[in-house]
Amino acid sequence: MHNNSLLIRNVRPLGRNATDLLIRNGKIAAQGTGLDAAETEVINGAGQLLLPGLVDAHTHIDKTFWGQPWQRHQAGPRLIDKIENERRLRRELNLSAEVQSANQIRQAIRMGTTHIRTHVDVDTEIGLSSIEAVLASKETFGDSMTLQLVAFPQSGLMIRPGTRELLEAAIDAGADLVGGIDPGAIDRDPAGHLDCIFDIAERKQVGIDIHLHEADQLGATSIELILERTRALGMQGKVTISHAFCLGMLPDAQLGELITQFQALDITIMTHGPGHIAFPPIKRLYEAGVKICAGSDGIRDAWGPYGNADMLERAMLMGFRSNYRQDDELEMILDICSFGGARVMGEKNYGLDTGCSADFVLVDAQTPTHAIVSRPPRSLVCKAGRIVARNGECLV
Ligand SMILES: [Zn+2]
């Protein structure tokens, strides 16, 4: 080994022709066949499929039960049942958000994820403790995982006085974005809620990523209010609407009008392919040029038993729920689970081109679609030029 360099022979980037990849100082320094291997560690890629590092652009790593004894899931059906159940379990289990977030990060690394945007609970009961815990994990993992934190008022904002100040303090402490949640359904004060988070975002010069589960016209109205504020404050390119279930429920003409505004205001839509409800028509948005990213959402937490922090599995779920059967469609989903997420996280040197940061994953699959449907173990995961997982085992 020399100069932090690594030569990976015989890999097929996104299924294209086989090539060698020379990694130096954290970057893809060269690619081509028969690259010089002098004084360099060489790995035989054996013709495996090379994918860019996967991007989980929406999850909740502070809350997972990963690595803990199984918890029976028995929360009621409504959103508020789940929020209250979670608050109760949080008190009873008293898990360390630092340990739990590290558990999920390691699992994500095993699965080939190199970037995570996580929403971290901030409320008047726990204050900034989860933010501080996840920031500590971010420090621990350093270059092994790119981590963005959204300060997230899970329990409501206007209905819990003191939360606004905590969100601001979370940004000051190091959170990257300000979050929000269902301004109409939870806070019952859509304008107040949105004015509050846009005000924080503007003053602190950070982006916004808001959870919007609201259905039908309630959701559409909230989106209109979000768009209004994005336009008024010149926050183009800095706003993500997560879930946006209502986009899967609106009349076609109304959806078309919103898509035009998403394009104009450079809004990103996040979906995780939910099992229980309509969700954004991915292909329609993607083909219109609207930015889309994807995430696991919560895994193995008080909200539900599902999830493996595996973005190939997520891609399969999104494709399955969308009834996408063509390779083109699943390649689009993979693009959303990689480049789409990197874009929303503002990564400039992401990808498999020479000069990009060496963030990638190697799998024994023939094509990207084959990788999504078969989800083989990740044989090699490289982050910033360093091997962070091998044969399904996390090395950090
Ligand atoms: Zn979420």
What is residue 1's predicted lDDT score, i.e. its pLDDT?
Answer: 42
Domains and CATH numbers, the chain: 5-52+351-394 (2.30.40.10), 54-344 (3.20.20.140)
Question: Could you give the CA distance from residue 373 to residue 196 in angstroms, rounded to a whole number?
Answer: 43
Distance 303 CA to ligand 1 centre (A): 10
Distance 60 CA to ligand 1 centre (A): 6
Distance 305 CA to ligand 1 centre (A): 15
By the 8 A CB rule, do 140 and 169 touch? no
Token code pair at residue 213: 């589960």
Distance 15 CA to ligand 1 centre (A): 32
Distance 257 CA to ligand 1 centre (A): 26
Task: Determine the distance from the C-alpha atom of residue 60 to the mean position of all C-alpha atoms in its chain, rounded to a whole number.
Answer: 9
**Amino acid symbol at 9:** R
Question: Could you identify the residue written with the tokens 């994500």?
Answer: 108
What is residue 2's predicted lDDT score, i.e. its pLDDT?
Answer: 45
Mean confidence (pLDDT) of the chain: 95
Distance 209 CA to ligand 1 centre (A): 10
Please state the rounded mean pLDDT for residues 281-294: 98
Please state the rounded mean pLDDT for residues 344-349: 97
By the 8 A CB rule, do 43 and 9 touch? yes
Question: In DSSP terms, which residues pair with 177 in a beta bridge?
Answer: 150, 207
Please state the rounded mean pLDDT for residues 60-82: 91
Distance 246 CA to ligand 1 centre (A): 16
Distance 242 CA to ligand 1 centre (A): 7
Task: Determine the distance from the C-alpha atom of residue 71 to the mean position of all C-alpha atoms in its chain, rounded to a whole number.
Answer: 24
Question: Could you give the CA distance from residue 296 to residue 108 in angstroms, rounded to a whole number?
Answer: 10
Please list the alpha-helical segments (H only) found in the chain. 79-93, 97-110, 129-141, 163-173, 190-204, 216-232, 252-265, 282-287, 311-321, 327-335, 341-344, 368-374
Measured at the CA of 44, the angle between CA 43 and CA 50, to 5 degrees, comes to 95
Rg of the Cα atoms in the chain:
21
* Sheet strands side by side (includes 19-24): 27-32, 19-24, 5-13, 41-52, 360-363, 378-383, 386-390, 393-394
pTM: 0.97
* pLDDT at 285 > cutoff 80: yes
What is residue 3's predicted lDDT score, i.e. its pLDDT?
Answer: 57
Distance 296 CA to ligand 1 centre (A): 8
Q: Is 108 helix (H, G, I), strand (E, B) or coil?
A: helix
Token code pair at residue 356: 């990009």
Token code pair at residue 94: 């008293």
Distance 26 CA to ligand 1 centre (A): 31
* pLDDT at 185 > cutoff 90: no
Kind plus residue range of the DSSP H or E element containing 10: strand 5-13
Phi-psi region of 391 (alpha: psi -120 to 50; beta: other; left: phi over 0): left
Distance 221 CA to ligand 1 centre (A): 20
User: Alpha-carbon dihedral of residues 117, 123, 128, 133, nearest 10 degrees?
Assistant: -50
Q: Is 163 helix (H, G, I), strand (E, B) or coil?
A: helix
DSSP state of 357: B
Q: How many CB atoms lie within 10 A of CB 4?
A: 16
Q: Give per-residue pLDDT as tens, 243-266.
A: 999 999 999 999 999 999 999 999
Distance 183 CA to ligand 1 centre (A): 15
Task: Determine the distance from the C-alpha atom of residue 337 to the mean position of all C-alpha atoms in its chain, rounded to a whole number.
Answer: 8
Share of the chain above pLDDT 90, in %: 88
Question: Could you give the CA distance from residue 208 to residue 183 in angstroms, rounded to a whole number?
Answer: 14
Distance 297 CA to ligand 1 centre (A): 5
Distance 393 CA to ligand 1 centre (A): 27
- What is the rounded end-to-end Cα distance, in angstroms, of the chain? 19
Q: Assign 84 a pLDDT band (cuts: 50, 70, 90).
A: confident
